[in-house]
Amino acid sequence: MDYKNILFSVEEGVATLTFNRPKALNAMNSETMAELLAAVNVCKTDETIKVLVLTGAGDRAFVAGADISEMQNQRPQEALAFMEMGHETLRQMEIMPKPVIAAVNGFALGGGTEISLACDIRFASEKAVFGQPEILIGLIPGWGGTQRLSRIIGMGRAKELILGGDRIDARRAYEIGLVNRIFPAEQLLPEALKFARKLAAMPGFAVKMAKHSINFGYDLPLDNACRLETECCAQCFSTDDQKEGMKAFLEKRKPVFTGK
């Protein structure tokens, strides 16, 4: 697929997807959402891709939300279709059997915060700004914000952000557990890529099982969730990488993983 609104490249097992509509602060229109879904599908099926990193073009924004100019005149059915498309894309990305890192380099508002919430790990630049300002334009979050935000930062804090519509800076986002780490702006992408390369070198099946167990165990009763973990962990014992990892440990050498 030829992309118009994103840049997509792959190096050393790491795919980098850059939202590339800087004049609109990388606002997500339906065309960009379709491109994100297409790129997620490439990441899922291309065996050379081990990790996906998302970031925004320019120095101002990750994604400043869903495109308000596109949404302005939508009728409820059109808005519903746009929302469903966003939900489908973000869920596909969230459950993809490979890690996804958001490198949030500026405004991540509304749909921008929601995209980051569907990533496994959020790194932010000191300039990053998060928020769910939908209430200020007569909406509520429509791409998972009311659900994923409360699961990540807790219900009380999620309600404060969603009902109040305030923006928060990277420091506050870190304090409330919305972002994993903060970096000076120029170090954000290099650090995100460094961490991505580290994950790319991990035993791929174990990475897949860890993500699966966390994602699908989270909403289960504890006994069922622990059973799921047990099954995922047991499956790792069928891989060459498990044998190599344990053998290397006992031989006091670095393991050589093959992804099998």
- The catalytic residue positions are 114, 134
d(CA 118, CA 149): 10
Q: Residues in the site for ligand CO8, rule: CB under 6 A?
A: 24-25, 27, 64-69, 71, 79, 82-83, 86, 107, 109-111, 133-134, 137, 139, 141-143
Half-sphere exposure of 213 (CA within 13 A, CB side): 20
In terms of CB distance, is 29 or 239 closer to ligand CO8? 29
Q: CB of 240: closest distance to ligand CO8 in angstroms?
A: 43
Whether the Cβ atoms of residue 132 and residue 152 lie closer than 8 Å to each other = no
In terms of CB distance, is 130 or 205 closer to ligand CO8? 130
d(CA 137, CA 76): 15
Phi/psi of residue 181, nearest 5 degrees: -150, 155
Phi/psi of residue 44, nearest 5 degrees: -65, -40
**Which ranges of 46-169 does DSSP label H, i.e. alpha helix?**
68-71, 76-95, 111-117, 145-153, 155-164
Tokens of 65: 């939300």
Q: CB of 22: closest distance to ligand CO8 in angstroms?
A: 9
In terms of CB distance, is 109 or 228 closer to ligand CO8? 109
In terms of CB distance, is 107 or 205 closer to ligand CO8? 107
Q: CB of 131: closest distance to ligand CO8 in angstroms?
A: 8
Neighbours of 196 (CB within 10 A): 26
d(CA 33, CA 90): 9
